Amino acid sequence: MAHVEGRARAPRLDRVTAYGVRTALLLTVLVAASSPAYADGPGHAGDDAFHIGAGVGMALAAPITLTGHTPTLHPFGRVALYVPLDFAGTLRLEPSVEWTYLADFPDVDVSATLVGLGAFHLVELDPRVALSLGARGGCGLARAHPRGGADPTTRVDGFFSPTLGAEYDLSPWVSLAAELRAELYFVSEGDAAPHPVLPTPAVATSANTALFVRLFFL
């Protein structure tokens, strides 16, 4: 791997993925706002029926503190897919898969794939507005790519994030949401020798905001 000077840059795939996600979010909002079919009918907040859907979102860039270092998340480096499962209008279970790219380590780039599950209590404020109180947790794999050409190391991560969210139903099928998260990441050694910038075991902390769209099929 060639040595790279200066600030780490996200791979081209990350930039293309981020552009696609932003375009999809914008198109979803425009369609939902302009379609007459979406203008009427109560939202699913507080509904006693079972609902299942799919969501896509991005977390905003925020510092992550790890054993004295403060890397910065690449602005388009956190993209996630969600599968919301709503029960009786008050309970939501939400599996998720997130792809994360970290930059600004002194001599290494770090990417991670996180698989998690969220559990939330839904509180209806209005037929179209609800709060969600709960947490997300899970585990994942992180890969450190040293810029000097050395072999990448692999990490196993666990994470836990107490979460407060708000959701607005554009229709019974489409909603916009935002979450505030206090994030804890537990880093353990993987299948290669530790990298000096990423000592193990370690605990990383962050406070973050996520914005996303959910589409409900049922």
Q: What is the pLDDT of residues 27-38, one digit of tens each?
A: 555 554 444 444
pLDDT band of 13, cuts 50, 70, 90: very low
Residue that wins the pLDDT comparison between 29 and 85: 85
Sequence ranges of the domains in the chain: 12-216
Instruction: Decide: 78 and 110 in contact? Cβ < 8 Å.
Output: no
Q: Which of 39, 55, 99, 65 is nearest to 212 (CA)?
A: 55
Q: What does the alpha-carbon distance between residue 135 and residue 155 come to, in Å, rounded to a whole number? A: 23
Per-residue pLDDT of 117-129, as tens digits, reads 999 999 999 888 9
Q: Please state which CATH number belongs to domain 12-216.
A: 2.40.160.20
Instruction: Decide: 168 and 128 in contact? Cβ < 8 Å.
Output: yes
Q: Indicate whether 151 pLDDT > 80.
A: no
For residue 116, what are its two tokens?
């998690």
207 forms beta bridges with 182
Q: What does the alpha-carbon distance between residue 210 and residue 60 come to, in Å, rounded to a whole number? A: 6
